[in-house]
Each structure stands twice: as structure tokens, then as C-alpha cells.
Structure 1
Amino acid sequence: MLKSASLRKTSKQRLDETRELYNSLIARMHQVETRMDPVLFLKHNLNAQAIGALENELGQIRQDVDSLVRDMEASIAESEAFIQRFREGAV
């Protein structure tokens, strides 16, 4: 009976850790998602003439896109690490 209680406690701890990691991952993905729409809008809806008129802002747009890509890559890496930990039984 003691072993069963110990296993139950360990299982609950792992479940709680998994939930915490999952919630963190989902929050991070939502942060990236909220930044995607404006960047994608700019990327797909500005024609060459508009970009020429906004030359000064083009650098900032590129920085925003680069930042978004880095955040997306970090989010993907987090999700892959989460999945790997789950497969290894560490969670």
C-alpha cells in the first residue's frame, strides 16, 4: 500500500509538471501567434511601390519579421523539447 501511494504521488507530480510545461508552451505559442498577423499582413499586402515609399520603415519591418522568426523557432524548439521529454518519460 505504501508503494502504491508513492507511485501515485510520483505520477501526480509528473502530471503536474507536464501540465505546467504544456501551459507554458501554449502561452508562448499564443504570444508568437498574436505577432504574426500584422507582420503577415504587411508582407503580403504591400506592393513594390508602397515598399519604395516606406523605405525608411522597411528596415524595421525586416527586424520585426526576423524577431518573429526567432520567436517562432524558439517556440518550436520548446515544443520539440517538451515532446522529447515526454517520450523519454522524464515528465
Structure 2
Amino acid sequence: MKYLLKINLLLAVLFLTACSSAYYSAMEKIGVHKREILVDRVEDAKVSQQEAQQQFSSALDQLTLLTGFDGGELEIAYNAARNAYEDSEQAAADVSADIDKIEDVAQALFDEWEEELEQYTSTSLRRDSRNKLRQTQSDYKQLLAAMHRSETKMEPVLAALRDNMLYLKHNLNTRAVAGLQGEFSKLKVDIEQLINEMNVAIAQSDDFIAKLKL
């Protein structure tokens, strides 16, 4: 059974790799190169992170309203907070998907760049191109590290939001809401730290894109 699972995973990886290669090849035929695709995908990831910031901030605002509940329909306040959590969950998934897409095209670009170094007849041009490749890889490594730092901070925040929503789902009363004040205080700090990490990643994205366009 485990053997079959490994085979299926391998086939899935090969299929996705083949699809990516075919896509990049088709795009190159119409004049869109991997470098341009990488820029576009970094831009997409930047937008996704900005949207995620807004969603997590919205979730924090809704929880603030819920924990400060002082009358009215408690269920309405809970539903608004739950919807904000679900939107945050989707936003986090979008960020992760965009990071995966960046990694895919970046690897393809660097592999191609490395292979084409051997095609130069000019030693000086080959050396210059190799130096630019190494610098781009170094810049990319910094960008990816910043993106992954913000990505890893999303899951603990989502887990805390999920716990709060589950707890309130089965204990929706003013006493239960009031009992979450301690949990909420920590969550507030975590969300603020997450937003700060995303700001770093967004700034790195701008810097990386500017360097690629030089």
C-alpha cells in the first residue's frame, strides 16, 4: 500500500513538472520568458499577502467586537467573526499557493540560466552572466526566506482563530465570550507580528522585482 502511494505521489510530481515545462515552453514561443513570469508571480504573491493582511486584520476587528459584546444578537456577532476567520483561511491558502508558483518558475529559470552559461564562446560574457545569476539567486533566497517566515506565522494564528470559533460554536453565551479575553490578547499580538512579517516580505518583493527589471 505504501509502495503504491509513493508511486502515485511520484507520478503526480512528474505530471505537474511536465505541465509546468509545457507551459513555460508555450509562453516562451509567444515571447514571454521565465524571468517575466517570475516577476508576475512575485507581484501576485505581494498582492495576496496584502489581501491576507486585510483579512487577518478584519478577523481581529470582528473578534474585538465579539469579545466586547454588550448586547444584541450574539449569534450575529459570532457569524461575522467566523466568516472573517474563513476568509483569513482562504487568504492564507492563496499566499501559500502563490509562493509555490514562485518556487516552480524560479527553479526553472535558474536551471535554464545555468545550462545556457555553457553556450557562451566569450569568457568575459559568461563570467558576467554567471555573476548576475549568483546575485539573482542570492536576492531570491532572501525573498523566499521572508515569504516563508510570514507563511509559517499564519498557521499558529489560524489555529488560534479556529480554536476560538470551535469553542464558541458549542458555547455561544456571554460567559464563554468573556472567558476568551486572555486568548484574545495573545492572538492580537500574534496577528500584529504576522502583519509585520508580511510587511517585510512585501518590501522584499518590491526590492526583488526592481532588481530583476534592471
TM-score, length basis structure 2: 0.36
Partner of 1:55: 181
* Cα 1:14–1:51 shift into 2, 3 Å: farther
Structure 1 residues 40-90: Cα deviation after superposition (integer angstroms, max 9, x where no partner): 2323552465552121232221111001001011101101210111102xx
Structure with bigger RCO (C-alpha 8 Å, 6+ apart): 1
Report what 1:35 is aligned to: 153
Check conservation: 1:25, 1:75, Cα contact below 8 A.
yes
**2:205 aligned residue:** 79
Q: Does the Cα contact within 8 Å between 1:51 and 1:58 map onto a contact in 2?
A: no
Aligned residues: 85
Q: Which has the larger radius of gyration?
A: 2
Q: 1:46 & 1:55 partners in 2: Cα distance?
A: 11
Task: Please report the RMSD computed on the Cα atoms of aligned residues, expressed in angstroms.
Answer: 1.9
Contact kept? 2:146, 2:200, Cα under 8 Å: no
In percent, how many aligned pairs have the same letter?
34
Which aligned runs of 4 or more in structure 1 are off by greater than 3 angstroms?
Answer: 47-51
Name stretches of at least 5 consecutive residues in structure 1 with no aligned partner. none
Gaps of 5+ in 2: 1-121
- After TM superposition, the score normalised by the length of structure 1 is 0.78
